Amino acid sequence: NAGVTQTPKFQVLKTGQSMTLQCAQDMNHEYMSWYRQDPGMGLRLIHYSVGAGITDQGEVPNGYNVSRSTTEDFPLRLLSAAPSQTSVYFCASSRQGPLGETYEQYFGPGTRLTVT
Amino acid sequence: GQNIDQPTEMTATEGAIVQINCTYQTSGFNGLFWYQQHAGEAPTFLSYNVLDGLEEKGRFSSFLSRSKGYSYLLLKELQMKDSASYLCAVRDRRYGNNRLAFGKGNQVVVIP
């Protein structure tokens, strides 16, 4: 199993450009999520999904869109990049229990994004 | 929010024991996770507590007191490879039992 994969590993964008960060998992997990990690801020939840066709906002959703057309894939789109979106982005997945509870999350290797 | 608090950094000697604390405030607590994150890498899962008490996993143990809103991670027989950031994360039933809120992490530096 590859686990959770993310592409690209590094990206530099100019202000106003758009791009999609890719995330895929091969563990058949229902739950997938996107976090950003900034120095001194910890991991903050951007968007998450509890299954194909279902997405919801996390703590810091502004400027980002997601979709979940398959169980495996959960891309994150930056609509118009801003310097404040310079960060490390992690995708994660988890199985869910009968009450919708998530268990340990498996993280992808991260995408280091710089917006100039 | 969940108001998760962790001290920021500590230094310890190889072979020693270190305790990393995490306090939280939420009315919807439903589980606490500990993750390890080496510099430049992704977090990896260490342990999970949902009931009060101690969970032991080799050199790592995690303790939870729900009444005190408190957890700690105990690292025994420290090795150089344990130098990392340790993150606690709280699962909150107010958000459907699936979202995690992470603390800012505690950086542990192991010295010879």
Lowest average pLDDT, out of A57-66, A82-91, B24-33, B46-55, goes to B24-33
**Residue B82, φ and ψ in degrees, nearest 5:** -80, -5
The two structure tokens encoding residue A107: 């993280």
How many other C-beta atoms can be found within 10 angstroms of the C-beta atom of residue B95? 19
| Averaged pLDDT, B42-70 | 96
Contact A29, A41 (CB under 8 A): no
Instruction: Give the pLDDT of residue B2.
Output: 57
pLDDT interval class at B27 (50, 70, 90):
confident
Nearest to B37 by CA among B101, B91, B103, B100: B103
Instruction: Give the pLDDT of residue A1.
Output: 77
For every residue of B48-99, DSSP letters joined together read EE-SSEEEEETTEEEEEETTTTEEEEEE-S--GGG-EEEEEEEEEGGGTTT-
Instruction: Give the pLDDT of residue A31.
Output: 95
| Averaged pLDDT, B31-35 | 96
Is a pLDDT exceeding 90 seen at residue A11?
A: yes
The better pLDDT of the pair B6, A12 is held by A12
Q: Please give the C-alpha separations between residue A5 and each of A10, B39, B40, in angstroms, as whole numbers.
A: 13, 19, 16
Contact A25, A75 (CB under 8 A): no
Which tens digit of pLDDT belongs to each residue from A30-71? Answer: 999 999 999 878 899 999 999 999 999 999 999 999 999 999
Which tens digit of pLDDT belongs to each residue from B50-61? Answer: 999 999 999 999
Instruction: From chain B, pick out residues whose CB is under 8 angstroms from the CB of A42.
Output: 87, 102-105
Give the closest-approach CA distance of A17 to chain B in angstroms. 26
Beta strands B70-75; B84-92: pairing state:
unpaired
Mean pLDDT of chain B: 92
| Averaged pLDDT, B65-88 | 96
* Residues sharing a CB contact under 8 Å with residue B53, sequence separation 6 or more, in sequence order: B63, B64
> In this prediction, what percent of chain A has a pLDDT beyond 70?
100
For residue A109, say if its preceding peptide bond is cis, omega within 30 degrees of 0. no
Contact between B44 and A107 using a beta-carbon 8 Å cutoff: yes
Mutant choice from B9, B98, B102, B107 vs A, greatest count of A C-beta within 10 A: B98
pLDDT interval class at B98 (50, 70, 90):
confident
